Amino acid sequence: MSINPNAKPLSKTSLGLDSLVRGIQIGDRSVLSQAITLVESRKASDRTLANNLLQSLPKSKNISFRIGITGNPGVGKSTLIEQLGNNYIESGYKIAVLAFDPSSPNSGGSILGDKTRMEKLSKEHNAFIRPSSSSGQLGGVGNSTREIICLCEAAGYNRIIIETVGVGQNEIAIDDFVDCFVLIALPGAGDEIQGIKRGIIERTDILAVNKADGEQKNLAKIALGFFKNVLHLFSHEDGWLVPAISISALENQGVDNLLELIEKCCRHRMHDGYLDFRRKKQNEIAFDKNCRSQIIHEIMQEKHFNDINKSLKDQIINGSITPEKASDIFIKEFIEILKTPR
């Protein structure tokens, strides 16, 4: 497949609600792409259609698993997803890959990098790859990740793989969307050396040391030993014991083992309704986050608050007020107006 480096992201949809719902349900990839562009939009008019669309999608009867693949830049996430995705397809699954690239918020993500690294997968009829910009969101995933996952599931994709670069402690936000969180590490020793934060390791469900090939095999063994020692200190509330394995995404070694562990983790979580409970909790978090960001957005649309905000920021910059005091003044003003009868 040749890739057009000048390709622009798909433009906004001109489809109405019914056509969007129908198109997604029959698995029309072009409609799915348009729907994703729609839910990524923060424009008020798009939000209304997007929210109606999400509300109108029938519940998928398929069981789907949401898998997060995280790790520092260059650890081999995309190379791994190419192999993992193809293994899934061979087993009859439909794969959606959402790849977030926080480094290029304006270019629509690492479209070139990822599509070349997922060359075989991107040609598969049963695979849908969507590079996306995280637009400076905390956690290296976009605001609309949960919504995109729901669209892909409604279109029949039953294994959703989310690639996101490790950006430090904030990265754990991906945990708000997935059923299983896979951390990819490099050969070598110690989390200090690998630059992985404790908060990420605590939330990891499966750890894979990648690039365990060629001259790095021994270093991979050292890393594996280190992580096994660290991981046994943590336990998950559902009793899942975090396994650590070594793999070579490039040589497709150990990727089948990783796939089995992912399936095992998700199926373990299906017992006693834990997966369901976890997703409900994630939905609650999404609700809270949406409300908060929407409320702030609405407040800032009001000239009065925008002016106060700017003036307080000026005062913070010239050192005449602390940020804490400034936020106190801002909130008090907001509450005052909220209480004023209209």
Ligand X SMILES: Nc1nc2c(ncn2[C@@H]2O[C@H](COP(=O)(O)OP(=O)(O)OP(=O)(O)O)[C@@H](O)[C@H]2O)c(=O)[nH]1
Could you list the residues that contact ligand X (CB under 6 A)? 71, 73-79, 110, 117, 165, 210-211, 213, 248-250
DSSP codes joined into one string, 67-125: EEEEESTTSSHHHHHHHHHHHHHHTT--EEEEEE-TT-TTTTS-HHHHHHHTHHHHH-T
Stretch (H or E) spanning 291 = helix 274-301
Considering the complex, what minimum distance in angstroms separates the CB of residue 71 from Mg ion?
A: 9
Stretch (H or E) spanning 327 = helix 323-339
The residue sitting closest to Mg ion, measured at its beta carbon, is: 78
Considering the complex, what minimum distance in angstroms separates the CB of residue 73 from ligand X?
A: 4
Considering the complex, what minimum distance in angstroms separates the CB of residue 119 from ligand X?
A: 12
Considering CB distances under 5 to 8 angstroms, the limit depending on partner class, which of ligand X, Mg ion, none binds residue 13? none
**Longest alpha-carbon distance in the chain:** 73
**Cα–Cα distance between 232 and 242 in angstroms, integer?**
7
Considering CB distances under 5 to 8 angstroms, the limit depending on partner class, which of Mg ion, ligand X, none binds residue 134? none
Q: Which is nearer to Mg ion, 32 or 161 (CB)?
A: 161
Q: Are 263 and 93 in contact (CB under 8 A)?
A: no
Considering CB distances under 5 to 8 angstroms, the limit depending on partner class, which of ligand X, Mg ion, none binds residue 250? ligand X
Considering CB distances under 5 to 8 angstroms, the limit depending on partner class, which of ligand X, Mg ion, none binds residue 165? ligand X
Considering the complex, what minimum distance in angstroms separates the CB of residue 200 from Mg ion?
A: 17
Please state whether beta strands 159-165 and 65-71 pair in parallel, antiparallel, or not at all (unpaired): parallel
78 binds Mg ion (CB under 5 A): yes
Provide the residue type at 257 as one letter. N
Taking CB under 5 A as the binding criterion, the range among 78-86, 128-136, 166-174, 228-236 that sits at the site for Mg ion is 78-86
Considering CB distances under 5 to 8 angstroms, the limit depending on partner class, which of ligand X, Mg ion, none binds residue 206? none
**Cα–Cα distance between 79 and 249 in angstroms, integer?**
6
Neighbours of 29 (CB within 10 A): 12
Q: Are 65 and 91 in contact (CB under 8 A)?
A: no
Considering the complex, what minimum distance in angstroms separates the CB of residue 252 from Mg ion?
A: 17
Taking CB under 5 A as the binding criterion, the range among 51-59, 69-77, 187-195, 322-330 that sits at the site for Mg ion is 69-77
The residue sitting closest to ligand X, measured at its beta carbon, is: 76
Q: Which is nearer to Mg ion, 72 or 194 (CB)?
A: 72
Question: Given the rule CB under 5 A, which residues bind Mg ion?
Answer: 77-78
